[in-house]
Structure 1
Amino acid sequence: MAPPCKVLMVAEKPSIALSIASVLSHGQMSTRRGVTEVHEFDIMFLGFHAHCRVTSVIGHVFSVDFPASYQDWTATDPLNLFQAPILKTESNPKAHIQRHLSQESRGCGYLVLWLDCDREGENICFEVIECTGFHVKEAKERVYRARFSSVTEKDILKAMDNLVEPNKDEALAVDARQEIDLKVGVAFTRFQTSYFQGKYGNLDSRVISYGPCQTPTLGFCVQRYLQITTFKQEKFWTVHPYIIKNGYDLQLEWERQMLFDLNVATMFQKLVMEDGLLEVIDISEKQESKGRPCGLNTVNLLKVASSALGFGPQVAMQLAERLYTQGFISYPRTESTAYPSSFDFKVTLNEQISNPLWGDHVQRLLVEGYQKPRMGTDAGDHPPITPMQSATEDMLAKDAWRLYQYVCQHFIASISPDCKFVRKKVQFKVGGECFHCVGQHVTLEGFTSIMPWLAVNEKRLPQFTIGEKIEVSNVELYEGNTEPPDYLTESELISLMEKNGIGTDASIPVHINNICERNYVQVQSGRKLVPTALGIALIRGYQYIDPDLCLPEIRSFIEHQITLVAKGQADHVRVVQHVLQQFKNKYSYFVKQVWHCWALDLRYFDQLNISCGPTGLLLSC
């Protein structure tokens, strides 16, 4: 009898490898320690007996960098970096992942790649192929890609039954982004840092960094800061009559809303007071609904984590990834808000039926029938983020539990009924002016019973009849001031980044974290992002020299080109050359103009009451 063939399976993380091996081996496996653990067992593979090894990498095996000859800042003109060669080196040489994969692949005739199913995961697939010595062009039938969205038994077995080829185009798209970001970022960063340190002394060894994603992200924060500082406050006045009816004390809203002239507003107040008798001129009722949410994608999870749970996006993704690797939620990096037609809602609901917090709600949905989800967006990557198995608070750390709880609530809400309510508007006339009041009465809580923070506020009104006249009890002339916008919150910044194509669901948290760590912005109460003097100075400098460098359009342009590569519609070498040439031209112009626009001017900082610490950096044009 011929010995069984050998199959090597590689996952992205040790915990995922363990989950895969446990399912495929039905728990009948041996485990030995290595750089990462290796699980071994026998299975039926493609219709024949096979001996299987399952191991993992720890994220990317390689990272890109310049050769040693380009590492010396003083010996290399940053302009030359745009055409410099690059090389891939092991991301963590001490981990010896490359050697580990090479050793474990010996004698193996098949390779199955269980990397995360996004572009980064696809790129790691080809890193693993390189380390193991498998070459797709020479032996396509021997290299397979498993596509899965969770580490449940059902998803793992389904992936094994539907193995595909790895996607070279998506991997090349990541290569393109890495090379562009490296060359553009390092060239500008080296020049800026050297220029300021050389002209203005030691900047506490601070690296004044630039990034095609990082800098437009900072630009949003500074743009909001400039809107705040240039805002001119204005006084306004509005007239509020009050009435008392059947025990209700009601303040009425003015149809004119507000006026910016005190004399005119006072005139209207007098007209209402002199008349003193309101007439009901219209009563309208309208059945309205508040729609249940679509499926949960990464961006929306990050926004809720920041605005409602108080987690920064970087922490939120770390928690989500931990929940995923533990098997509690599906893959947390997805752009899709539409569930696939094959999604089994009943099975997912049954997992939550015993939960003490929302089990009763789940039971009602199973008995009365759950709703068809709203049409969302199918980005062609992963399904929305959903719970995969039940958990209780004592099973998870505090913050992980809060995030898991929200994922569960959002999923249940997405297939619950819409919230239904009746909106009643009563309109009045007095002294020739029109006023109104609005009441709301909820007829069906729907999804808001599981997401109570989105509930419609009840406001009861007394009974009115058209033509009825009611005495005015008081007429207030309210004085207020127009207010500037507030600083951007993380949640608002994430929305702007998504809308303008800055970063991906995987990289948005990284870019926000970078501008915080580099002291370009500070996170203040309410997770508001307040730019520092250094961050303001950098963006104002770009705005004067070349606004493209800090506007979102420049990153959108890059992402569009990279997406063409991922779809196989553009050659990745040509895309990289084209983008780098654009940035090389911008770099040359930037270097020529920077002397005219950036200068040390501490007095100007003092006038603005902005502290820049020992750096003293400021734009002065």
Structure 2
Amino acid sequence: MQLIVCEKPSVARKLAEALSASLKTRSVEKGRGVKHYEIGSICVAPAVGHLYSLKQKAAGGGYPIYDIEWVPSSEVGGSAEFTRKYLVALAELAKKADEIVNACDYDLEGSLIGWNIARFLAPGKKVKRMKFSFLTRDALTAAFEHASPLDLNNALAGEARHKLDWIYGINLSRALMSALKAAGTFRVMSMGRVQGPALSLIAAREAEIAAFKPVPYWQLDALYPYEGGTVEFLHEKDKFWKKEEAEAALAASSEKGRVDSADKKRAHVKPPHPYDLTTLQVDAYRCFGYSPARTLEIAQSLYEAALISYPRTSSQKLPAELGLDKIIRALAANPQYSALAAKLIEGKRFIPAEGEKSDQAHPAIFPTGERPQGLGKYEASLYDLIAKRFLACFAEHAVKEYLKVVLLLGSQKYSADGVTVLKQGWIEFFGEYLKSQEKLLPPFKAGESVEVKAIEMLEKETQPPKRFTPASLVKELEKRELGTKATRSQILETLYSRGYVADRKSIQATPFGSAVYSAVSEYCPEITSEELTREVEKELELIQSGEKKADEAFEHGKRDLDKILKKFKSQEAAIGAKLKEGLKEAREEARNLGACKCGGNLIIRKSRFGFFVGCDKYPACKQTYPFPRNALIEPQNKACEKCGTPIVKVIRKTKRPFVMCLDPNCETKASWGKPAETKPAAPLATAKPAAPIVPATAITKPVAPVASAIAKPAPSAAAKTAASVAPAPAKKARKPRAKKKV
């Protein structure tokens, strides 16, 4: 039997459907409902990502830890318990298999997932590799028919990455928590090979903003009325750093003058290249506000539905062997894209514009041509962005005319720039997702007289550096070669979850995040070293190409880490003191919800009855407000327009967050607890009142946050054969509880 292992159940079903029109669905009894598909002597079965994880061999919570092994993921933590039944099912099937085919995603992770399953469940058996970039029937069939030998170098590089990330993550995290413990406090912390440099970028930017001192400057604007609006002509000097110079230039200007020059220049603008993951994440954030992590999640669902190609790619190229003309013709059958695709077909435009970046494993992201059915709002919007970008790649150049007009007003020159689109070209295909492409100016001619309606002198200040947005941070990480296309968005989510950064739009280092950065950059800067991280990535590439052994790369990384940890231990007390101070500041900031009417601060307080909001000037001020029950609250740094109390965001599990002011008697809450108004019922229909919204005003103790330290693992040897995998023991039936008398 030939056992084909897929990375996910949805992919396993698609592959099975591609290989056979009539599927036989089976389920291994011990696998407890894990479906696999039998097609003659072929069996297609799913994993659910990594079924094996790394774990330290010896028990203990200290550091450094370098002695690690692979064990079933279900043995490492409770969150991975669901993987047990998939491993059990594959173990049963592997016993009967003569050959294993790895059909997991064609990247380092997918290669490692399949290789671990093959070597631990079917040691010594022949292993092949399938390679595909999209999940259409033709692509999957071709990948099966042209399966190649095991891509061992990719698997070894994937294993080396996992091992290095594990030892860096566990040891640096334990080192930081040990320093905090030595300072007499505790908090769950994490740090990693890429997490450190990423935090460094954000915290360093925050420090720049805090240290920034604005410098005043002045600008002169001449305002010319045009088509009901105003065209601004800026003085040729742009910024005046001395007020008296600006005043002198203003005095030398007059409202009447002439056009000194009106220069035109035409330019052909190339179509955009197809999407790689980073540019897709940047555009999805700009167009829809989707975070990089959310964009990848949506793209993955479109890939699994066979609507787009594999999204985790850094390529900006579309090889001809993909059958690009067939994809365009398939899109022409979709009414949403028929007009655009027809123009490409009519002009026989089947050669795309391409970018510089390439990826050995996968092409750029493109629509497969399969017809979308029943997509949700988010999937439909991202699919449309990808499809129109793809079509735009094949379109003609756009032609723009750039106009620079210089006015001579008195003895001073003022200028304005305009642009007009003369030929739409590719802009017709993708224009709705672009910023305005035109800035119209009046049809000036050199030498003609003009009169502006006013000349203004504006006082301005230089601005601090902008904070990163989620999209710009992912782009910066890629530029600096930090992390991978698949992990950069995850790194940002980790920084949020650890409380190192805040604000989902304009990323801001928290006091604690800044303290972590300050401590490690001062006493152990290697933790935030970009060069060290890039060096590891280069060594992984050498493993892939067969130029370096995986064991050598691991030992090299271990030696570098050991030096860092020894240096850290020598400075543990100083690092711990800084972390403690930052943690204290972070906790105080989290308690402070805003200003009290007396001039003090409203903070979260606790009494024997639970949490409440009170003034920090108590007993001089006895103002209190109830604390929302069973919720987390985040200050919003603004006050209610009606009552003046601080506005907070209320966050509850499984419910949509909402904002409210703290005063339960505010007029904004007048309708709370009352039935919503309903419109008159239509004939033969009965209108139902909406469920009342109940204010959260009771003072109760909220659910305490769960602080999970790094668990002390039970000793376990790595699974070597299928015999080492056993199903979970059956649960004993519980005795019915005796009912209490009330």
Instruction: Tell me which interval the TM-score lies in, with the shorter structure as reference length.
Output: 0.7 to 0.9
- Separation in 2, partners of 1:150, 1:338: 15
| Kept after mapping to 2: 8 A contact 1:39/1:55 | yes
Deviation at 1:563, TM superposition (A): 1.5
Which structure 2 residues correspond to residues 556-575 of structure 1 after superposition, within 5 A?
Answer: 556-575=534-553
Q: Secondary structure in 2 aligned to 1:207?
A: coil
Query: Are 2:536 and 1:536 aligned?
Result: no
Partner of 2:93: 104
Task: Call closer, same or farther: CA 1:132–1:546 in 2, change over 3 Å.
Answer: closer
Q: Shift of the alpha carbon at 1:152?
A: 0.4
Distance 1:212 1:225, change over 3 A: same
Give the % identical residues: 23
Distance 1:149 1:264, change over 3 A: same
Contact 1:65 1:89 in 2 (8 A): no
Q: How many residues align?
A: 580
Distance 1:54 1:538 in 2: 48
Partner of 2:145: 161
1:7 to 2, 6, 27: 2
Partners of 1:582 and 1:462 in 2: CA distance: 64
Amino acid aligned to 1:126:
W
Between stretches 126-135 and 320-329, larger displacement belongs to 126-135
> Which residue of structure 2 lines up, in the alignment, with residue 486 of structure 1?
466
Paired with 1:103 and 1:330, the residues of 2 have a C-alpha distance of 32
Deviates more, 1:594-603 or 1:229-238: 594-603
CA distance in 1, matches of 2:588, 2:422: 53
Q: Which residue is equivalent to 2:695?
A: none
**Alpha-carbon spacing, 1:314–1:571, altered in 2? closer, same or farther (3 Å):** same
Alignment correspondent of 2:161? 177
Indicate the RMSD between aligned Cα atoms, in angstroms: 2.5
Q: Distance in 2 between matches of 1:557 and 1:400?
A: 37
Q: Which residue of 1 aligns with 2:434?
A: 454
- Which residue of 360, 374, 377 maps to 1:398? 377
Q: Does 1:436 align with 2:415?
A: yes
Render the CA deviation track for 1:6-40: whole Å, top value 9, x for unaligned.
22211111111111111111x12211123331111
Aligned ranges for residues 265-276 of structure 1 at < 5 Å?
265-273=246-254, 276=255
Q: Deviations over 1:531-579 (max 9, x none)?
A: 1111110001111112231132221111111221122111111111111
Distance in 1 separating the partners of 2:553 and 2:264: 58
Match among 196, 205, 210 for residue 229 of structure 1: 210
Aligned residue among 524, 529, 548 for 1:551: 529
Q: Give the counterpart of 2:237 among 247, 256, 261.
A: 256
| Matched AA of 2:188 | V
Specify which of 34, 48, 52 is matched with residue 62 of structure 1.
52
Q: d(CA) in 1 for partners of 2:291 and 2:579? A: 34
1:511–1:283 distance in 2 versus 1, CA, 3 Å: same
Say whether the 8 Å CA contact 2:512–2:582 is kept in structure 1. Answer: no
Instruction: Note closer, same or farther for the CA distance 1:56–1:600 as it changes in structure 2 (3 Å cut).
Output: closer
Aligned partners of 1:613 and 1:213: how far apart in 2?
A: 31
CA contact (8 A) 2:392 2:426 kept: yes
Q: Which amino acid aligns with 1:30?
A: K
| TM superposition shift of 1:236 | 1.1
Q: Pick from 465, 484, 489: which aligns with 2:445? A: 465
- The residue type equivalent to 1:155 in the other structure is A
Deviation at 1:370, TM superposition (A): 2.6
Opposite residue 199 of structure 1, the aligned amino acid is A
* 3-state SS, counterpart of residue 279 of structure 1: strand
State the shift of 1:212 in Å.
0.8
Indicate how the Cα distance of structure 1 residues 476 and 603 shifts in structure 2: closer, same or farther if over 3 A, else same: same
Cα shift at 1:607: 9.8
Contact preservation (8 Å) 1:442, 1:456: no
* 2:559 is aligned with 1:581: yes
Shift in Å, 1:349 = 1.6
Deviations 1:30-51 (A, max 9, x none): 1112333111123xxxxxxxx1
Indicate if the aligned counterparts of 2:130 and 2:143 stay in contact, CA closer than 8 A.
yes
Q: Which runs of 5+ in 2 are unaligned?
A: 75-79, 593-742
Paired AA for residue 164 in structure 1 = S
Q: Normalization by structure 1: what TM-score?
A: 0.88
For 1:148, which of 132, 138, 152 is the aligned residue?
132
| Equivalent-residue separation in structure 1 for 2:109 and 2:87 (angstroms) | 18
Give me the whole-angstrom Cα distance separating, in 2, the residues matched to 1:557 and 1:363: 48
C-alpha change, 1:607 and 1:504, in structure 2 (3 Å) is closer
Kindly indicate whether the alpha-carbon contact (under 8 Å) linking 1:169 and 1:566 is maintained by their aligned counterparts in 2.
yes
| Alpha-carbon offset, residue 332 of structure 1 | 1.2
* 1:510 aligned residue: 490
Contact 1:234 1:481 in 2 (8 A): yes
| TM-score, normalised with respect to structure 2 | 0.74
Aligned 8 A contact 2:263 2:403 in 1: yes
* 1:287–1:600 Cα change, 3 Å: closer
* Equivalent residue number for residue 302 of structure 2: 323
Q: Does 1:40 align with 2:38?
A: yes
Match of 1:427 among 398, 402, 406: 406
Structure 1 residue runs without a partner (length 5+): 1-5, 43-50, 615-621
Q: Distance in 2 between matches of 1:464 and 1:18?
A: 65
Q: Give, in whole Å, the separation in 2 of the partners of 1:106 and 1:243.
A: 82
Q: Is the alpha carbon distance of 1:597 and 1:10 closer, same or farther for their aligned partners in structure 2, counting shifts above 3 Å?
A: closer
Aligned to 1:88, which of 63, 66, 71?
71
1:116 is matched with which residue: 98, 105, 117? Answer: 105
In the aligned structure 2, how far is the partner of 1:406 from the partner of 1:243? Answer: 38
**Deviation of 1:603 (Å):** 8.6
1:165/1:405 CA distance change after superposition, 3 Å: same
Name the CA shift for 1:367/1:168 in 2 (closer, same or farther; >3 Å).
same
Q: For 2:275, what is the secondary structure of its paired residue? A: coil
Q: Match for residue 23 of structure 1?
A: 18
2:170 matches 1:192: no
Give the Å deviation of 1:457: 3.4
2-side partners of 1:215 and 1:166: how far apart? 34
Tell me whether 1:294 sits opposite 2:273 in the alignment.
yes
CA distance in 2, matches of 1:434, 1:483: 26
Alpha carbons 2:175, 2:568 under 8 Å: kept: no
SS state of the match for residue 259, structure 1?
Answer: coil
Q: Which amino acid aligns with 2:297?
A: Q
Q: Counterpart in 2 of 1:208?
A: 189
Confirm or deny: 8 A CA contact 1:439 1:460 kept in the other structure. Answer: yes
The one-letter amino acid of 2:488's match is I
Counterpart amino acid of residue 458 in structure 2: Y
Letter in 2 for 1:511: I
Please identify which structure carries the higher helix content. Answer: 1
Shift of 1:238: 1.1
One-letter code aligned to 1:497: L
C-alpha distance in 1, partners of 2:287/2:440?
28
Q: Distance in 2 between matches of 1:498 and 1:311?
A: 18
Letter in 2 for 1:545: Y
Alignment deviations for residues 253-289 of structure 1 (CA, whole Å, 9 cap, x no partner): 222111111111000000013xx44232322111123
Greater CA drift, 159-168 or 513-522: 159-168
Q: For the residues of structure 2 that align with 1:279 and 1:297, how far apart are their CA atoms?
A: 49
Is 1:343 paired with 2:299?
A: no
Distance change in 2, residues 1:323/1:453 (3 Å): closer
Equivalents in 1 of 2:427, 2:156: separation in Å?
A: 44
The AA in structure 2 aligned to 1:445 is Q
SS in 1 for 2:188: coil
Query: SS of 2:273's equivalent?
Result: coil
Instruction: Describe the shift of the 1:320–1:462 C-alpha distance in structure 2 as closer, same or farther (beyond 3 A).
Output: closer
Give the Cα–Cα distance (whole angstroms) in 1 for the partners of residues 348 and 147 of structure 2: 35
